[in-house]
Each structure stands twice: as C-alpha cells, then as structure tokens.
C-alpha cells in the first residue's frame, strides 16, 4: 500500500468514526462548532480549518500568506482526521486540539509557498521552516508550538504517510522552570524554587487593602470572586463557574456515627464549597479550613446580594429566549427610558449608537431635550423608538449563554445558576458608562487577571489605589498564583501528598511537586532536626513526642494511642518507655520500620539478642538501660498478676523475661572507649563485606 492509500484509509476510518458520534457537526464544514462534542469553557468553541491565519508579527519577505478560504483537499481532511484520532486515542481536550489545528494551519503556509497541498509531501524541511517562521514573528510560546509539531510529525511517521520518515526533532528549550535542572551544588539553600509563580508579600498586603475597601458594587463583585480564588486555591475557570447553591455544611461525626458537639453543646460541622473541576469535569466539594471560612462565607453571601438584579434579568430571559425585556414589540419607548438599560450618560450618545446600527426612531419628543454643550447650546430632542426594532438589534448582538455542559452534551449548569455574574460592561472602571443591563454574563478569567495586574493596558485594583511593590514597580498577580501559594503552604505545614492532592482537587499526585515552591533548607529541615540533636536522649525525646502527637506514623504510634484510649495514659506511656527506644533512627526521620534492612527480622526489638547491638560509653546510656529494665519488670509483674490470662500472654511473658535477662547482662558490662558487642552469638542481620558472597544494594 503506497503513502496515498495509507493516507486515504486513515482519513476514511476517522471520518467514519466521527460520523458515528452524536456531534451535530458536518464533516465538510469549514468551522466545527464543538459545543455538543468537546467539553469547553467560555465563548471559544470552534475548530477552524481556514487557510488564512492571523499573524501578529512581521513575516519574512520570502513568504506569502494563503488567501481566505478553507484548507485544500486532501490536507483539510487530514487535519480533521488528526483531530478525531488524537481525541479518541489520547483523550486530549478542546484547547489542545485547537492548538493542533493552528499548528497544522501554520504548516500549510510552508506548503502553500511551494504550491503543495498533500500531507504526503511533507518533509522535515517543512517543519523546520515553520519553526523559523515562528521565530521570525517573535512567537512567545515557541516551545509549545514546536512540541505540538513534533507530535504531528511522529504520527505521520507512525502511520507512514510520507515516502521517507520525517524524523523531526527540535532543540528549543522551554522557558518554564519545570523543564530545567539545577544541580544541588549550584542551588542556594535559601532560594525558593518557582518564586515567580508565587504572589509577593507586598501583593498580598495590597490585596487585603483592596478587598476590604471596594470602590463600588461592580468592583466588589470582582473582589469577592477573587476572594474565593484565594480561599479555595482553585483554578481560575473553576471559580468563575461556582454554582449559586455552592455552600454546604455537614455535621462532624464520631466513629460511632454520632454528631460531635463542642463544650457549649453546639454542633461541629465541616464547611465546604461545591464546584466543578476543570479537569475530568467532576462535581466536587472543597472543604474549607477554619481560617478560610470567614473569607469564603463573606464572598458567597455578598455575591448573592450583588448579583441579585443581574440574576433576575437572566432568569426572565432564559424563560423567554426570544426576548430581551418585558416591552411588547409594538410598544413605543423613548431614549430617556432606554438610558436605564443601556447605560448611556446622554441621549445624544444613545441616539448616535442606535443610528450607527440601523435603528431609526418613530418620532421626535420635544418634551425633553439636551444641549450639545454649554458653549454651542445646540438642542437635541428626545426620540421615540419602537421597542421591537431595538429588541431585534439587541438580540443580534446578545452574547451566547455559557451553559456548562458535560462531554455527553448534558447541561449541568445554566448561566443563571452561576454564582459570580455581572452586567456586560460593568467592569469598565475608567469609563462607567455603557453598562448594558440587558446582557448578563459570567465573569471572564481575563477580567480577573486584568484586575490583578497581569494584563497590559488594563487598570488593576492596585493601580486604582496607587499600591505598588516594595521597589515601586507595578504589582502583577495572575489567577493561578494563589493556587501555587496555597499548595506551598500545605507543603510547609507538613501535609502529605495525598492530602495536598485532595485539597487542591488534583487527581495526579505527581503534579504536587510543580506547586511546592519550598527552599532546599525548608525541604531538609526535618532531616536537619534529626541530625542536630546534642545527645541520644534528645533524639529519643523527639521520637516519643512524635509518637504522642502522631507526627511519626507506624505500628508503635497506633498501639500507643490504642492503649491510651483503652487503658489510660499511664499504661500507654509505660509501653512507649519500653518500646520507644526501638524506633529505628535514620537521617531521614524517625520510623517504626527499618527500611535499610527491609524488613528487620528482629522486628526492631534489639534487646532480643540482636548481633548488631553494642554498649558504648555514651553519656546517659547506663541510666536508659536501667530505666528500660524497670519498665520491663513492671510490665512483667502486671502481666503475671492478670487473672484473665488473655490469649498470647505466655508469648509476651517469655519475650519480656528474655529482654530483662539481656538488659541485666548489658548492665554488668563496663564499656570503655571501644564499643562492646552485647550478643556475640546473636544473628547478624547485615553481614560484613568479608562474609558476603556477592554485593547487594
């Protein structure tokens, strides 16, 4: 089978699979509306297969851009088949597929200049020329584009669509620190990795000033939405689609299934906020820490109040999909009345706006007029319009309702059910006019980033109050920085990777590392604590405290807390004093398992005749052995006096008797500067090198 047949078979197969899906998309269409096929957020929901591509930079003189029109056959069918194949085999989402189509359109620019139209004519040169084009126009996401082109080239090689393999590779390095490697020698232990992804201290202080002093209701809507972003640490698009009935409280239950109350008899509850995860699209609850509840509660309650008017308008429009307002089509309405809905300061501006869009008045009303200016004193009279004419125009420019849909096309969340809403134009803080109170939208992520100062040209909440960084520069935050900041706090607080992933709504534990921006010193603090003790007694005290407060995990910790609950603190501490010294100590922390021996055949009971146990002349060693002997004798006495004779008691008695015998033997030895082996006949767990048959890791 030649390359053209291979290509034709691939296209026909993917086309057949695509047509079997319920996408409501015509394969031959130049623009695919993926609303009923791919999960997406926002207004952008199209895959465009047009040859013309907007390029912002200056292209080389040797290249000509294709004219407007769909990509030629068979190239357009190849691109469409590529989209279907990547979707069903790799499961990638809308944005990744959209980027893939864009790279194919860029690749076609090179084909077009050589008067080629088949993917079978592609060579490594075409891909390299596309990279050179992107470099020439100063494309900022060069690494991402090159990686996408490599994926396309690899598929072409896999399916053998070209006579010779393309074998395309690029040497472009990412500007993202995630792909960089720094040796430990070249790393400053006090340098925080990924510091550019965290908000500065000044930025957080400045935001506290802003959020507690909103300028007006419109800005407060924006601030309360950002409050939720900070309190929850979610992705930006997840916060903009938080449902109206998001607040949830569940009573705290004990192990017996009973509700827990505090000392005053009040029920203790877990507080959370419902949201929809951007990845995997699953309804979830983000459970709030106690310190986050006041901030989140204020945000939710205020957003419900501030968006009440907009929600009422939207609910009426959803119930009347072909209407904008309650006016009848034939009813007459003056421009003075319309100023309330369309937010124009003066009727002269409103009249000009309607005239430019082809809406003509029915008659003039001379009972109301305005002067052009104080100097000219020219008079402009009020105009009367037919409500239907204005409504038809408004319907033609009405933004699409952004209903949140699942991948099967089911509407999960209507626009009116979203908590953060706004009237169109309400965030134009420099120009407060033209707030269209007939159009209601969810809050775009771009508006949040603009308010935080990360979009050039947009006035931020900090600039509005003349707040700057410590060096006087502009404060710039992104909507994703609070997520990195919160995850870093979780890491510094000692939360496990599983706990961090659950708190951040993350399914892949390996992604935690990208959000943990700790210094080398902070990462190794626990290790340094273990190595920084002045004596063995300090280490033992540290380990016992860790067992008591559950910062050290394992069987000894579980047994200690079980005894404490069943038999009281005295019995539990006696157990800990007896067995607490058997915890294996490594530079990496206290652990109830000896991982270096994997596992320890003595089960960490060194006094049961372990050949590795030595007496030394370390200060306090004799006193600790005497204390261990007293504890063991006390426990043995209690066990022998127990009339219930529990199952397995004889085994524990025998073990304690052996331990007491060995402890007494240790006390009789008088160690010098040279350590003395306590049990020369004891079995060695780790053999010395001279006795090994072969090496081991």
Examine the pLDDT at 71 and tell me if it is beyond 70.
yes
What is the reported pTM?
0.58
Task: List pLDDT tens digits, range 376-424.
Answer: 677 788 889 998 898 888 888 887 766 676 666 677 788 889 999 998 8
φ, ψ dihedrals at 248, nearest 5°: -140, 140
Running DSSP on this structure, what letter comes out for residue 512? G
Task: List pLDDT tens digits, range 75-129.
Answer: 999 999 999 999 999 888 899 999 999 999 999 999 999 999 899 999 999 999 9
Grade residue 648 by pLDDT with cuts at 50, 70 and 90.
Answer: low
Closest C-alpha among 338, 255, 247 to residue 287 = 247
Dihedral sign, CA of 413, 416, 420, 425?
Answer: positive
What pLDDT is recorded for position 647? Answer: 58
Least confident of 11-25, 62-76, 205-219, 517-531: 517-531
| Helix or strand (DSSP H, E) at 375 | none
Based on the number of CB atoms within 10 Å of its own CB, is 258 exposed (0-12), middle (13-18) or buried (19 or more)?
exposed
CA distance 649 to 122: 80
Average pLDDT of the residues in 672-697: 51
Average pLDDT of the residues in 259-267: 83
Examine the pLDDT at 430 and tell me if it is beyond 70.
no
Grade residue 17 by pLDDT with cuts at 50, 70 and 90.
Answer: very high
* DSSP strand pairing (31-33 vs 46-48): antiparallel
Task: List pLDDT tens digits, range 484-504.
Answer: 999 888 888 878 788 888 888
Whole-angstrom CA distances from 172 to 141, 179, 528 are 11, 11, 39
Task: List pLDDT tens digits, range 283-339.
Answer: 889 999 888 999 999 999 999 999 999 999 889 988 888 888 888 988 898 888 888
**pLDDT above 90 covers what percent of the chain?**
29
What pLDDT is recorded for position 533? Answer: 58
Mean pLDDT of the chain: 81
Task: List pLDDT tens digits, range 572-585.
Answer: 888 877 766 555 44
Task: List pLDDT tens digits, range 515-542.
Answer: 888 876 766 665 555 555 556 666 677 7
Examine the pLDDT at 448 and tell me if it is beyond 80.
yes
b vs e for 316-327, b when ≥16 Cβ sit within 10 Å of the residue's Cβ? ebeeeeeebbeb
Least confident of 353-362, 455-464, 597-606: 597-606
């Amino acid at each position: 089978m030649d390359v053209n047949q291979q290509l034709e078979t691939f296209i026909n197969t993917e086309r057949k699979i695509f047509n079997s899906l319920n996408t409501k998309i015509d394969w031959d269409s130049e623009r695919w509306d993926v609303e009923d096929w791919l999960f997406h957020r926002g207004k952008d929901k199209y895959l465009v297969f047009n040859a013309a591509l907007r390029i912002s930079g200056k292209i080389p003189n040797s290249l000509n851009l294709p004219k407007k029109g769909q990509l030629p056959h068979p190239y357009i069918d190849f691109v469409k088949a590529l989209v279907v194949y990547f979707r069903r085999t790799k499961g990638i989402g809308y944005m990744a597929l959209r980027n893939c189509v864009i790279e194919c359109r860029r690749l076609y620019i090179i084909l077009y200049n050589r008067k080629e139209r088949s993917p079978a004519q592609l060579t490594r040169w075409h891909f390299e020329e596309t990279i050179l084009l992107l470099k020439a126009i100063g494309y900022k996401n060069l690494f991402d584009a090159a990686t996408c082109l490599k994926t396309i080239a690899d598929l072409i090689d896999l399916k053998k669509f070209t006579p010779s393999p393309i074998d395309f590779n690029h040497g472009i390095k990412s500007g993202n620190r995630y792909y960089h490697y720094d040796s430990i020698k070249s790393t400053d232990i006090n340098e925080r990795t990924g510091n550019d992804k965290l908000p500065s201290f000044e930025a957080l202080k400045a935001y506290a000033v802003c959020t507690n002093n909103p300028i007006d209701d419109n800005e407060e809507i924006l601030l309360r939405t950002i409050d939720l972003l900070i309190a929850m640490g979610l992705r930006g698009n997840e916060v903009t689609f938080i449902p109206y009935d998001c607040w949830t409280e569940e009573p705290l239950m004990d192990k017996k299934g009973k509700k827990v109350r505090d000392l005053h008899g009040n029920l203790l509850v877990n507080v959370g906020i419902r949201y929809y995860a951007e990845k995997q699209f699953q309804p979830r609850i983000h459970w709030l820490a106690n310190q986050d509840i006041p901030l989140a509660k204020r945000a939710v309650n205020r957003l419900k109040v501030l968006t009440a008017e907009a929600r009422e308008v939207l609910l009426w429009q959803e119930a009347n999909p072909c209407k904008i307002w309650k006016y009848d089509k034939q009813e007459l309405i003056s421009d003075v009345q319309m100023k309330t809905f369309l937010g124009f300061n003066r009727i002269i501006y409103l009249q000009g706006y309607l005239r430019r869009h082809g809406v003509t008045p029915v008659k003039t009303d001379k009972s109301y007029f305005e002067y052009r200016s104080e100097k000219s004193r020219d008079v402009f009279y009020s105009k009367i319009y037919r409500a239907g004419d204005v409504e038809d125009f408004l319907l033609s420019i009405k933004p699409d309702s952004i209903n949140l849909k699942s991948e099967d096309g089911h509407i999960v969340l209507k626009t009116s059910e979203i908590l953060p809403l706004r009237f169109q134009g309400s965030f134009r803080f420099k120009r407060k006019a033209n707030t269209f109170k007939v159009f209601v939208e969810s809050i775009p992520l771009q508006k949040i980033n603009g308010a935080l100062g990360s979009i050039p040209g947009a006035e931020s909440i900090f600039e509005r109050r003349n707040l700057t960084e410590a060096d006087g520069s502009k404060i710039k935050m992104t909507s994703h920085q609070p997520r990195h900041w919160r995850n870093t706090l979780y890491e510094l607080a000692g939360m496990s990777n599983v706990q961090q992933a659950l708190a951040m709504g993350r399914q892949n534990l390996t992604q935690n590392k990208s959000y943990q921006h700790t210094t080398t010193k902070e990462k190794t603090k626990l290790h340094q604590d273990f190595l920084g003790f002045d004596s063995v007694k300090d280490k033992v005290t540290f380990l016992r405290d860790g067992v008591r407060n559950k910062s050290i995990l394992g069987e000894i910790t579980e047994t200690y807390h079980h005894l404490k609950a069943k038999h009281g603190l005295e019995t539990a501490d006696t157990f800990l004093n007896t067995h607490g010294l058997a915890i294996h100590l490594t530079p990496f922390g206290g652990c109830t398992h000896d991982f270096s021996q994997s596992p320890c055949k003595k089960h960490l009971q060194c006094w049961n005749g372990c050949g590795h146990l030595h007496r030394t002349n370390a200060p306090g060693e004799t006193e600790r052995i005497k204390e261990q002997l007293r504890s063991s004798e006390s426990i043995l006495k209690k066990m022998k006096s127990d009339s219930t004779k529990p199952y397995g008691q004889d085994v524990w008695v025998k073990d304690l008797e052996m331990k007491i015998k060995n402890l007494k033997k240790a006390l009789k030895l008088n160690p010098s500067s040279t350590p003395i082996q306590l049990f020369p006949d004891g079995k060695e767990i780790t053999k010395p090198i001279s006795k090994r048959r072969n090496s081991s890791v």
